[in-house]
Amino acid sequence: MDLDLMLGIRRHITVGSHVPGKLRLKFGLGVIGNPKVIKYVKANGFGPPKGQDMPGVKKTSFNPLTRSMIMEYDKGIIEPEMLHRLFVSESEEEFKAIANELADTCEFDLAGFCQ
């Protein structure tokens, strides 16, 4: 999944609920019907690309009936406030900056994720 795709679909993603360690995201139809998203999910599921761990992410699960995803994460590795800001960011620049900051904090290869 590339960063441009993430930028394009982020307006269709809302935070359903968030307590430190557990984030629920709600997906609009703009995400569910996007061919690039479907291709990514078929290949990788709802986590990082196959063969690439995302430090701090314990588990992800998707419920197609509610169009929501739950991400359980280690709040000692991923700062809850920063993760929340990523999904409520107002601008493309803010989204990119937060994504890069999160990747640096977690020692995650964002470039590999965005191929």
The verdict on residue 114 lying in a domain is no
The verdict on residue 41 lying in a domain is yes
pTM summary value: 0.80
The verdict on residue 12 lying in a domain is yes
**DSSP code string of 42-84:** HHHTTSSPTT---TTEEEEEEETTTTEEEEEE-TTTS-HHHHH
Output the domain CATH number for residue 41.
Answer: 3.30.1360
Total number of domains constituting the chain: 1
Domain limits at 8?
A: 3-109
How far are the Cα atoms of 14, 19, 75, 95 from residue 6, in angstroms, in the given order?
Answer: 13, 23, 23, 9
In the structure encoding, which two tokens stand for residue 42, read together? Answer: 């078929």
Query: pLDDT of the chain along its 115 residues, tens only?
Result: 466 777 778 888 899 999 999 999 999 888 878 888 888 777 777 766 777 777 888 988 889 899 999 999 999 999 999 999 998 998 889 988 998 898 888 877 666 555 4
